[in-house]
Amino acid sequence: MNTSNSTQFLDILKAKEISENFGSPVYVYDETILKQSAQAVLNFPNAFGLTARYAMKACPNRSILKLFHDMGLHIDASSGHEVHRAIEAGFEPEKISLSAQEIPGDLEALLGLGIRFNACSLKQLEVFGQLKPNSSVGVRFNPGSGSGGNNRTNVGGVSSSFGIWHEFVPEVQSIAERYQLCIERIHTHIGSGSDPQVWLKVALMNFQLVEQFETVKVLNLGGGYKVGRMPNELSTDLQVIGEPVRKAFVEFAQSTGREIHLEIEPGTFLVANAGALLAEVHDIVSTGSDGYNFIKLNTGMTELLRPSIYGSQHPIDILNCDQTGQGIEKDYVVVGHCCESGDILTPASGDPELLATRNFKEVEIGDLVVIGGAGAYASAMTPKHYNSYPEAAEVLLQSDGSLKLIRKRQDRSAIWENEL
C-alpha cells in the first residue's frame, strides 16, 4: 500500500464507516489537518502585520469557509458569485478581496457592501474609477515572470492574461489620476504549485512596483505554495520561504520609511492534503498480455479532474477488504467511470495523454479506494454532470473522530431541474 500523508487520515475502518453511512464516491475532509494548515498560514513570517486570505476557489464548501472564518482567515474571491457565497457562509464583506477575470454585473452593489477590489486589468481599473471615484483600490500586476506546477497553472509572464503587465505602471497612474484613485494595494499571484525559489524571487521583485506607488500600504503576494500530494513530492515550508520575505519588508522600511502590510492568499496549501476522495473498485478488465490491467472506479473526472487535464499525480490506496496480505502484486492503470478515454486517474506525470501504472496487491471488485490530495480543486473543479453523474457528497471527519455530512449527495432529478 502506497500510504501517503494525504490519505493516511482514512484507515480501513473509518473508510468503511463512511461508505456505509454516506455511500461513495464521497469527499472526506479532515478537520484537524484543516486547522493545522490554517495555523501554518497564520504564522507566515511578517514584519508589519499579516492578512491571510483563503483562496476559496480551492474548496468553497460552507463548512470549510466557516471553519477558516473562525480561525481568522479572510477571503480571496475570484468571481462575484464567490463573494456572495462567502458572505452567505458568514464572512464580513470587508474581509473579502475580489480579484476576478470578469467584472461582476453587480460590482457596484458588492463595493457598496464594503468588499475590497483588485483591478486585474486597465479596463477593470477604469470601471472601478467610474463607479467609485475618490476612493482606494488594489491593482493586480503580472510581474513578468511566473511559475506553476505545470504550464496551465503558471499565471505570470508574457503567456498569461492575468493582471496588468508590469510595464504599464504609467497607464495605471494616469487612470488613477483621472478618477482620483488611491492605489493602496499591489497584488501579484504567479501560479499554482510554484517553484519556491521562483516564488521568492518574484515576491522580492514586487518591491520595485511598490516603490513606484507612494500610496501603497499593502503588498499581496498571492498563493501558489507547492504542496506535495505524492509521498516523493516536497511541500513548501512557509517559515523557510517567508523569512527572506519578512527581511525584505524590514529592509524596504529602513530605506524608504514605509512599513508595508503583507497579505498572502493560498488555496492549495490550506486544503489539498486535508481532503481525500473515497470510492470503490467497480470493475477490473484487461487488454491481454501486451496490454494493461485496468481498475475501473465508481468515480473519476466527475469528482477529480486534475489528472485528466494536468497529468497531476494523486496517491491512490486500495483498501483490501479481506486484509490477508497474500495476493499477488500487479501493475494497473486506474480509470474513471465516464465514457471518455481521457478519464484516467493514473496518467503519466505531467502528461494526461499517456498512461502510467501503479502497483497494487490483490485488488478485488468492491474494494474501497482512497485518493489523496483531493481537498483542493477536486470537488470545486469538476465536470460533475458529465454522463449525468450527480454531485458527490462531502463529509467532515471532525477532530473528535465523529463524521458530519457537509454536502448531501445530489438527487438525480436536480441534474435536470433547471431545464425548460
Give me the residues that bind ligand LLP (CB under 6 A), please: 55, 58, 76, 78, 99, 153, 189, 192-193, 222-225, 265-269, 306, 376-377, 381
Please, which residue, 158 or 420, has the CB nearer to ligand LLP?
Answer: 158
Please, which residue, 19 or 223, has the CB nearer to ligand LLP?
Answer: 223
Please, which residue, 129 or 222, has the CB nearer to ligand LLP?
Answer: 222
Catalytic residue among 59, 182, 321, 339: 339
Shortest spacing between CB 73 and ligand LLP, in angstroms: 13
Shortest spacing between CB 378 and ligand LLP, in angstroms: 8
The residue number whose beta carbon is nearest to ligand LLP equals 223
Query: Backbone phi, then psi, for 252, in 5-degree steps?
Result: -65, -40
Shortest spacing between CB 151 and ligand LLP, in angstroms: 12
Shortest spacing between CB 36 and ligand LLP, in angstroms: 16
Shortest spacing between CB 351 and ligand LLP, in angstroms: 16
Based on the residue annotation, tell me whether 59 is a catalytic residue of this protein: no
Shortest spacing between CB 365 and ligand LLP, in angstroms: 30
Please, which residue, 302 or 320, has the CB nearer to ligand LLP?
Answer: 302
Please, which residue, 60 or 223, has the CB nearer to ligand LLP?
Answer: 223
Please, which residue, 353 or 419, has the CB nearer to ligand LLP?
Answer: 353
Give me the active site residues, please: 339
